[in-house]
Amino acid sequence: MADNGNSDQEAYEARLQRRLRILKEQFEAGKIHIAEGLQVVDSLKLVTYAPDGTVDLSTVDGLVRSMALAIEAMHDREEMKKSASLADIQTKYFEFLQANFGHFYRIMVDRGLTPHDAGVALSQTPEGVAELTRNLKNFLDTIDDFWRATGQIAIAHVEDMHEAMKGVYGGDLFPSASENIASKCALYTDTIILPDPFLRSKAVFERLGEDSQAYYLIKHAMNLLQYKDLACADVQPPIVAVLPDASVLDEDERPFFYKLGQEDALLHGARLFGRTFGTFDELMSFCRGLDTVERVVAEVEDPQRALFDTEWRGSLADQLQRALGDDLYSGLLHTSNPGIMLASQAVGRMSASNELLIKSRQLRGTPIIDAPTSWQYFVWKLEYDSNRVAEGNELRDLHIVRGLQSLASDKMQWLGNVPPAALIEVRKAGALGEVREIMSVGVDEIARAAPADFVRTNERVFDNISTAFATHQEKVRALIAKKWKFAGSDIGSWIVVGSLAATAAATGAPTWGLAALAADQVLDPPKLHDIPKSIKSLVEETKKLKRSPVGLLFKYSQGKV
């Protein structure tokens, strides 16, 4: 029988020899510089070699071993990135979609249809449904295999785009099929990061009938193909990048986000019902007893937080009745209990907000939301995080700031209807860079405002943003007067009226509640040992940061003008 102890030791020593070899090569290549006086310098001087040319491991102390481990990780990351460029990955992805759905896309464009229209049309005939669903599982498996092979490479490329202002889309499975989010806000970011909607919908597909499967398959494919030229354009940084959610590649992440969502749902439930809940089970038990609309209405203290959709009108009772008859809520949640629907809505929305915040931090980007309902829950999530940190000190009233929203709610004129071809030409020409600069400076300023200085800096920060956007408005008017055109499109036709909104939590060093969680300062569960390995490094990194989380909303008020 093999001695597992010896085998494990031999495997470890082989890995260590590799790490030390990489460390030596990096030193010789001049890629590592160590300041004199650090203890590791003395440790390195003690390292000797065995007669066979390998390192004598008995001369390698813990400092050198730790340094070698870190250098190996950086080396392997760079080697991984060399295996495929981000442009290659995006091209292969869209070529696969084009090969499978290109003929449907051409018909959609020729007939002036939307992705929704195309999905409806192709899901209304038995023949079309059969054709689309016959190979659905194989298609989804192929998408999954592609991202498992390339996803970490693509993510690493985007993470390392340090100078780019990256907008990380969230709040829904994918941007609205009736609008192109790049047309809406790509002049205000360098790169918009979109999620793969097929991966996000995999669990949903399993619960849908074949007609609905066909509809969402086509809708997602048509919507994605609208971004093909933008994602594959020969510009740096890319205008659009489609990435898999890390929570799909790492199965430990999804339950972790759900756990964070449960903790936030407790705070949301406290505001909603005017009472505290010690555990999520306690919240669910309470809501389970609210099995009629009348009972829910009688218990709700803050009806504004019983939010299903910002576009729904009427009393709380009216909205609860509407939710009960809506497949999106009662169907997918498999319940007709209005109390359970409220609790499930809270935990689902809060889980999504946590995932967006952590994903944005991983990619070193800023959350971008274009759905007002998702935006409201995101704002509440930041409010709850800030209130946690503020407990017991002077920051209680500084939980949230809304800068651009108060400046330009539904009245801001901005460049939000830019044709994709014009976007590409603008980027290639290096034009309108000051537009992105205005947004990036404003975002950076509110992100770096320390909680202790919020009272003092609040007005200054937003005065600066207000001034920047007033300047931007002047430049927009000047551009229109010049009658410039890009790809045959006049800048004047790009103007829309709506809201550019920003929100930030005055949490100080924590980028979100997760950082304080690591030091046991905010949440009880989950503890540090419950955090997935893929996120643990972010906890340590976040402790060192002096940035608050920031989110941006881009919303037309009454369509394009």
Using H for helix, E for strand and C for coil, what is the string for 62-102?
Answer: HHHHHHHHHHHHHHHHHHHHHCCCHHHHHHHHHHHHHHHHH
Interacting residues of 415 by C-beta distance below 8 A, sequence separation 6+: 187, 432, 435, 476, 491, 494, 495, 496
Beta strand ranges found along 257-377 (DSSP E) = 366-369
| Position 123 in a domain | yes
- Count the alpha carbons within 13 Å of 27 in the hemisphere toward its beta carbon: 12
Collapsing DSSP to helix, strand or coil, 424 comes out as helix
- Compute φ and ψ for 414, nearest 5 degrees: -150, 170
CA-based nearest residue to 215, from 137, 136, 102, 103? 136
Say whether both 399 and 489 belong to one domain: yes
Most confident of 74-78, 283-287, 307-311: 283-287
CA-based nearest residue to 554, from 387, 418, 372, 430? 372
Q: What local confidence, expressed as pLDDT, does residue 517 receive?
A: 44
- Is this structure's pTM higher than 0.85? no
% of the chain at pLDDT higher than 70: 80
| Position 95 in a domain | yes
For the ranges 6-20, 135-149, 220-234, 353-367, the lowest mean pLDDT is seen at 6-20
Express each pLDDT in 393-431 by its tens digit: 544 444 344 444 444 455 667 788 899 999 999 999 888
Handedness of CA 469, 470, 475, 477 (dihedral sign): positive
| Position 390 in a domain | no
Owner of token pair 């979609």: 97
| Position 345 in a domain | no
Residue finishing a domain among 52, 82, 112: 82
Residue type, 197: P
Express each pLDDT in 321-341 by its tens digit: 998 887 666 666 678 899 999
Q: Contact at 8 Å (CB) between 424 and 240? A: no
| Position 270 in a domain | no
Residue finishing a domain among 56, 82, 108: 82
Say whether both 42 and 113 belong to one domain: no
Q: Is the peptide bond before 526 cis (omega within 30 degrees of 0)?
A: yes
CA 266/CA 50 separation, integer angstroms: 60
Please give the structure tokens belonging to residue 469. 């956007």
Say whether both 464 and 526 belong to one domain: yes
Number of domains within the chain: 3
| Position 285 in a domain | no
- pLDDT of 556 over the 90 cut: no
Of residues 237 and 432, more confidence is placed in 237
Q: What local confidence, expressed as pLDDT, does residue 497 receive?
A: 78
Say whether both 30 and 68 belong to one domain: yes
DSSP per residue, 180-232 = -HHHHHGGG-SEEEEE-HHHHTHHHHHHS-HHHHHHHHHHHHHHHHTTHHHHH
Say whether both 44 and 93 belong to one domain: no
Q: Contact at 8 Å (CB) between 144 and 199? A: yes
Mean pLDDT, rounded, for 124-131: 89
Q: What local confidence, expressed as pLDDT, does residue 498 receive?
A: 76
* Domain enclosing residue 43, as ranges: 4-82
